[in-house]
Amino acid sequence: MSISENLLEILCCPVTKVRVVILSADRLARVNTLIKQGALKDVEGNIVSQPMDEALITKDNRTIYRIDDGIPIMLAGSGIPAEQLDK
């Protein structure tokens, strides 16, 4: 299930207020690879264990938020620092 365009237009990071966009397929694949390896952590330092079908990323490319069943999970503590994708 994909997130609606109307909802996407109003969403922003709860911490920085930077708007979000859909995470590209190649970056989503990288996220899921890191999850499978147990190497991806959220902003609170918890290991992310649930693979993602969809995700959002802030327009400044700093924070990733998962989308579950078309619902963005945008709690401040659930954000994933995107810098981990480049390691």
Report d(CA 34, CA 57) in Å as an integer.
16
Q: What is the pLDDT of residue 87?
A: 79
Tell me, what's the pLDDT at 4?
84
**Buried b / exposed e along 38-61 (16+ C-beta atoms within 10 A):** eebebeeeeebeeebebbbbbeee
For 42-83, write each residue's pLDDT tens digit. Answer: 999 999 999 999 999 999 999 999 999 889 999 999 999 999
Q: pTM, whole model, 2 decimals?
A: 0.95
Q: 23-46: per-residue pLDDT in tens?
A: 999 999 999 999 999 999 999 999
Q: Is 23 exposed, middle or buried (0-12, 13-18, 19+ CB in 10 A)?
A: buried
Task: Provide the pLDDT for residue 10.
Answer: 95
Q: What is the pLDDT of residue 23?
A: 97
CA dist., res. 53 & res. 66, Å (int):
8
Rounded distance between C-alpha atoms, residue 1 and residue 71, angstroms: 9
